[in-house]
């Protein structure tokens, strides 16, 4: 089903590009027709005046008709500009095609639909003022392009609304069954972690090598929209191999374009912070400890993004970056992260 929907999505994007191209061709042809008619009418009028000859009204026209043609040419230039924008947006959408990219709905589809509506209004205003002008095939090419674009925009809006509703339902809560750890990990990755974008924030004070291993499995390489992962934790669960494993994970993620940083909470904050959560700019979830995220009988529950971000900022006020924490510890300045260091 998902493969079929992805195929439909790409085919509709291709139709959108085709429709936008037809609209652009019609708009350019319209300017040419108006320019020719204006040139004939204005030239015939000037010539008849200079030679004091009677020229057929079909060629000369009245001054008002010539002025009307001039106004239509100006309107047609606007029509061409809108058509170029429509074609450019549809081409970018096709190049960056991905049914899982929410930026389509937010950035491209709504913009394309809004400009299409403006274009259609201008298109019919121009045609309604030129009843005597014959466009032939290109008139119907314009109609066909408009229909293709409007139907494509409507389908894409419906596609993302349905996808968003499905994702929202599936990501509202997720039950974890301790008897199926492998399946749990897949479900958590597909329904939660795969949808995280941009800057990701994690609060979990029980970070260790097992947690890093699960993070690596949860942030699969298919998740290409995550830019950074900031983990706020404590040092109480660090094992002997943590530093090596963390550096290896960090380097591998860096090669994938993802920045990973670990911050150590103030000791007072750490002792009072029992809730674990993960958040990005659009969603937030309460989660089990990362080191046993797929083995603990618990629920992954959606929470307010504002609450998660507010709590994260509060805990960060006294946090110290892991590298600075290790440096201070090696110098025996402090044996705990209960010190705020300016970054």
Beta strands in 57-145 (DSSP E): none
Measured CA to CA in angstroms, residue 203 lies from 25, 111, 234, 251 at distances of: 54, 37, 10, 21
Q: Which CATH class is domain 176-330?
A: alpha beta
Rg over CA atoms, the chain: 31
Contact, 125 vs 75, CB < 8 A? yes
What is the C-alpha to C-alpha distance for residues 303 and 305, in angstroms, rounded to an integer? 6
Q: What is the 8-class DSSP label of residue 333? A: S
Pairing of strands 284-286, 277-279: antiparallel
Q: What is the 8-class DSSP label of residue 105? A: I
56-96 residue pLDDT tens: 444 444 556 666 777 777 888 888 898 898 888 888 888 87
pTM for the full predicted model: 0.52
What is the C-alpha to C-alpha distance for residues 221 and 225, in angstroms, rounded to an integer? 10
Rounded percentage of the chain residues whose pLDDT exceeds 70:
75
Strand arrangement, sheet containing 284-286: 173-175, 299-302, 284-286, 277-279, 198-203, 226-233, 259-264, 320-321
130-177 residue pLDDT tens: 655 545 566 677 788 888 888 888 888 777 777 655 555 545 568 888
Q: Region of 198 please: left (phi>0), alpha (psi -120 to 50) or beta.
A: left
Provide the pLDDT for residue 60: 45
């Amino acid at each position: 089903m998902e493969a079929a929907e992805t195929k439909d999505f790409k085919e509709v994007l291709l139709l959108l590009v085709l429709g936008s191209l037809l609209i652009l061709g019609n708009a350019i042809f319209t300017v040419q027709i108006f320019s020719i008619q204006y040139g004939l009418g204005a030239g015939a009028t000037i010539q008849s005046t200079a030679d004091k000859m009677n020229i057929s009204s079909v060629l000369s026209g009245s001054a008002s008709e010539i002025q009307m043609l001039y106004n239509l040419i100006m309107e047609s230039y606007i029509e061409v500009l809108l058509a170029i924008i429509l074609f450019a947006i549809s081409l970018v959408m096709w190049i960056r095609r991905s049914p899982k990219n929410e930026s389509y709905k937010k950035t491209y589809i709504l913009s394309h639909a809004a400009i299409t509506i403006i274009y259609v209004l201008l298109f019919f205003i121009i045609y309604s003022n030129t009843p005597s002008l014959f466009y032939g095939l290109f008139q119907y090419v314009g109609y066909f392009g408009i229909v293709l674009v409007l139907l494509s925009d409507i389908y894409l809006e419906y596609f993302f609304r349905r996808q968003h509703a499905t994702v929202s339902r599936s990501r509202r809560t997720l039950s974890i069954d301790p008897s199926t750890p492998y399946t749990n990990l897949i479900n958590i990755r597909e329904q939660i972690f795969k949808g995280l974008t941009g800057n990701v924030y994690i609060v979990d004070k029980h970070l260790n090598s097992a947690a890093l291993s699960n993070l690596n499995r949860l942030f699969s390489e298919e998740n290409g929209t995550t830019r950074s992962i900031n983990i706020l934790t404590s040092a109480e669960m660090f094992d002997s191999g943590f530093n090596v494993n963390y550096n290896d994970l960090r380097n591998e993620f860096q090669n994938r374009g993802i920045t990973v940083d670990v911050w150590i909470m103030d000791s007072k904050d750490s002792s009072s912070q029992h809730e674990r959560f993960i958040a990005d700019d659009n969603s937030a979830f309460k989660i089990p400890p990362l080191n046993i995220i797929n083995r603990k009988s618990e629920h992954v529950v959606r929470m307010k993004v504002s609450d998660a971000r507010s709590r994260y900022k509060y805990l960060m006020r006294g946090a110290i970056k892991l590298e600075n924490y290790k440096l201070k510890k090696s110098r025996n300045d402090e044996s705990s992260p209960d010190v705020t260091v300016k970054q």
